[in-house]
Structure 1
Amino acid sequence: MKAIVYTLLCCFCLSGCATKVHLITQGYSEQERQQFVVTLSQQGFNVREADIVMPNHFPSTVISFHPAHPKPTDIEKLKKFVAANELPQALEMQFGQKRHFYNQGNIGLYLRHPDINLNETLPLYVRSFNCGKQQATLFFSPDHKLELEYDVHRNGDYRLVFKRGFWAFDGSIVTANFKDLAPVRFIQSEAMRDTPMGPREALVYTPIKKDHPIKQLNCPYEVVFVN
């Protein structure tokens, strides 16, 4: 009898439990993201904003799911959501394609703002400032590889420390991803700096949060264009 009840409960959950939609966006404002969440929730989905970066090799709209997803109508509902928001037609990716994996009952919905230009570039490097002894340099390579370099002082000596990862940029926010570390997000802004050659334009990168275990990643960074 217990086995029958357990089986019925499992079947009910597969067919009746709300599907969890993992929402990954790029370039949308908080207000726009919240509207997406509200609309999807009203359609019966359990929505979670995933704190990951949308891969650059993904097209602008992706629906990623397990091939044995128990509710085929979920995919149609998401495609209608995409069409209603006048977004590009979604690419449907099943389990394992492009190294993204979702179990049954979970769907990944990736949305990139139409105004995002993936060819946006960053300076080759930026240096920390106004950060006391926590001096560091961030290097951005054109192939989206990232390197953090900083000094560690101990007993009068110092050594260089390197952390490597990957970066993404949506035209406003830089996301730095390092292996086994929480991602860091910086807001890009423009500024003017006084130099021996007079005022010069600069780009400033300010961390959105300042609670990272690597203190150097809580610093603002800048590059000054002297030419």
Structure 2
Amino acid sequence: MRNGILICMLLLLTACQQPTVYVYTQALTDIQTQQLTIRLQQQSLPYQFIQLPIPKEFAAATLLTSEDKLLTAETEQLAGIMQAMGYQPQINYVSAANHHYSDGNIGFYLRGEHIEPGFNMPKLMRTTNCSEDRYNNLRVTFNENVVAFTLLNGARAHLEWQFYENYLVINYRDISQSYTHSTPLVATPFGEKPSDTYRYTAHVESPQWLNCSLQVVYMD
């Protein structure tokens, strides 16, 4: 209740100002926070970080719009930010969990998700189905929250990875690549074998070796 009162007071004080994005974050990594800040600076509305917890009723990526003034283009920009960070945004057009917005203000809620209990990434994978053939069959190793790509020149690029709502997300500077998981059978010289396959969901401008799926084939 106290948080709800604080939110209402905040919105009353800012009612006469330019529409503002109120940003709530929780359990984001340092890299994700940096990425989010860079992207917020590139969108068209002023924004303000709010140091209050995200209601557990909200999805990991939630936008709460103003009930009396819907800014469609700006809301789409903010949803695009969430998608670029590997999330699937949920947009609410009505008040929720004592959070209410008016005069065009928008609530932006982004919560890091812990890895699901019992979930384990394969320790060693290979790139496959790359947009550029030369990047196929790179060695990719996973360890805790760090993934290492062994590049064509033998150098190793160490990146941060997370698992969000059934998406594998790998972070590189101010971009993220997300992957969907499947377990197809893969043809080998010894017949069809099971695999863990992570297919990339978007095309990033750079580095090109993130435009590859990741796969391990189990031969036993």
* Range of TM-score over shorter length: 0.5 to 0.7
Following superposition, the deviation at residue 109 of structure 1 comes to: 2.1
Partner residue of 2:92? none
For residue 197 of structure 1, report the CA deviation from its aligned partner: 3.6
Count of matched residue positions in the alignment of Structure 1 and Structure 2: 155
Q: 2:195 aligns with which of 192, 197, 202?
A: 202
TM-score by length of 1: 0.53
Please list every run of 5 or more consecutive structure 2 residues that lacks an aligned counterpart in the other structure.
1-11, 27-57, 88-94
- The Cα shift of 1:15 comes to 4.4
Please state how far the C-alpha of 1:43 moved relative to its aligned partner: 7.0
SS in 2 for 1:183: strand
More strand by share: 1
1:202 is matched by which residue type in structure 2?
S
Provide the C-alpha distance between the structure 1 equivalents of 2:62 and 2:142, rounded to a whole number of angstroms: 32
Q: Which amino acid aligns with 2:217?
A: V
SS at match of 1:133: helix
Percent identity, aligned pairs only, is 14
Q: CA deviation at 1:53?
A: 6.5
Using CA pairs below 8 Å that are at least 6 residues apart, which structure has the higher relative contact order? 2
Instruction: Find the residue that maps to 1:206 and give its secondary structure.
Output: strand
Contact between 2:200 and 2:212, CA under 8 Å: does it hold in 1? Answer: yes
Q: How far apart are 1:24 and its partner, in Å?
A: 6.8
Structure 1 residues 190 and 23, CA, compared in 2 at 3 Å: closer, same or farther?
farther
CA RMSD of aligned residues (A): 4.0
Verify the 8 A CA contact 1:126 1:221 in the aligned structure 2: yes
What is the CA distance between 1:130 and its match in structure 2?
Answer: 3.4
**Distance change >3 Å, CA 175–CA 23, structure 1 → 2:** farther
Match of 1:124 in 2: 123
Question: How big is each residue's C-alpha offset from its partner over 1:129-148, in whole Å with a ceiling of 9 and x where there is no partner?
Answer: 2332113222211x211111
Structure 1: runs of 5+ lacking an equivalent: 1-11, 26-31, 55-76, 83-104, 152-158
Which residue is 1:92 aligned to? none
Q: Aligned runs of 1:74-223 on 2, under 5 Å?
A: 79-80=97-98, 109-111=109-111, 117=116, 119-131=118-130, 132-135=133-136, 136-141=138-143, 143-151=144-152, 159-170=153-164, 172-178=166-172, 180-223=173-216
Cα displacement (A) at 1:81: 5.0
Q: Distance in 2 between matches of 1:181 and 1:147?
A: 17
Tell me: CA distance 1:44–1:170, structure 2 relative to 1, closer, same or farther (3 Å): same
SS at match of 1:202: strand
Cα separation, 2, equivalents of 1:45 and 1:144: 38
For the pair 1:225 / 2:218, whether they are aligned, the reply is yes
Deviations 1:147-195 (A, max 9, x none): 11110xxxxxxx21221121111352111012x3411111212210123
Distance in 2, matches of 1:113 and 1:42, equals 28
